[in-house]
Amino acid sequence: MNIAWTPIPITGATLTESPRYAHHQWVWVDIPGKTLYRCQTAMAANARQIECTPLPDEVACVLPTAQPDVWLLLGRNDGYTLHWNTNKPTVQAHHMRLPYDPSSHRFNDGQLGPDGAVWISSLVDARQPNTGGLYRVEQNHAELKVGGLVVGNGLAFSPDGTQLWLADTRQRCIWRFEFNPDTGALGNRRLVAQYTTGNERPDGATIGPDGHYWVAILEGARLDRYTMTGERLPAVAVPLKRPTMPCFGGEHGQWLLVTGLAHTTEHANAQGFEGAALAIGQLTTTQIQA
């Protein structure tokens, strides 16, 4: 699948993550930069205006709500609600009881589940031991659902709501679970993929408009794709050496935004994308339906 990509340079950004498209706007974060970005235009090469909002925490997960100007944020030290209903955005802390020690762990990748709860993984700063987990958050209470993770990532739900997909970037694997959308119960854990080539490993993921699981392969410069039965499909090359998460947007899901780690000499992006923190491409109708 060939996609024409456009670089999106963001000065100073080193780790862009959690791209979302909702209410006709794009949102993403730079985790170490403690900054949230929003774009309310088509974000084509010459038609974008990107707003920046400083954050009080290392926010790794951004989730939309039913209200266009209200978003949920999950960071190292708390969960937050961000309001864009004034000229100066406001961030309100939830005062959560965290399920981990924030001096060594933080929330990482999350989604709103078909059961109406927030599902969020955590990561271990030192990348050992495997004391991270996947949590179900409801009314500011985090319930551990899957333990033994190092860098929880790649969280996504199948289009029919009966599967939960989960990756561990450090352990370099992807699983899928049976999921009960009414109760939030998990079952029948299966290993979908175990990566062994070089230092390639699965990062953030989404379900594409084609109904498949799309996962960013860190240090692999590509997005891998899997059917809901676990069959691997042809990969999609991206111009970022270390992509972190894909996101589809637009009226028909025709735009594909990919976040990533900054270009370095050791981990070089494609030519023309050296200063890009993100890349965006447009899919054809045929590619969307493939």
* pLDDT for res 46: 44
Phi/psi at 7 (5° precision): -75, 145
Rounded Cα distance, 259 and 272, in Å: 16
Its sign, for the CA torsion 49, 55, 61, 67, is negative
Q: In what order do the strands lie in the sheet with 213-218?
A: 201-207, 213-218, 222-226, 232-237
Rounded Cα distance, 153 and 190, in Å: 16
Which string of b and e fits 159-189 if b means at least 16 CB within 10 Å? Answer: eeeebbbbbbbbbbbbbbbebebeebebeee
Short-list 250, 271, 273, 252, CA closest to 261: 273
Rounded Cα distance, 240 and 262, in Å: 8
* pLDDT for res 87: 73
Rounded Cα distance, 166 and 153, in Å: 6
Decide if 119 contacts 111 (C-beta within 8 A).
yes
Rounded Cα distance, 100 and 32, in Å: 19
Its sign, for the CA torsion 33, 50, 117, 81, is positive
Tens of each residue's pLDDT in the chain, 290 residues = 778 899 998 888 999 999 999 999 999 999 999 999 998 866 654 446 888 999 999 999 999 999 999 999 999 999 999 998 777 899 999 999 999 999 999 999 999 999 999 999 999 999 999 999 999 999 889 999 999 999 999 999 999 999 999 999 999 999 999 999 999 999 999 999 999 988 999 999 999 999 999 999 999 999 999 999 999 999 999 999 999 999 999 887 889 999 999 988 899 999 999 988 899 998 876 666 66
* pLDDT for res 45: 43
* pLDDT for res 286: 67
Q: Which residues, 6+ apart, have CB-to-CB distance to 35 below 8 Å?
A: 13, 29, 52, 53, 54, 55
* pLDDT for res 188: 95
* pLDDT for res 47: 45
Asked, as a colleague might, if the bond just before 64 is cis with ω within 30 of 0, I would say: no
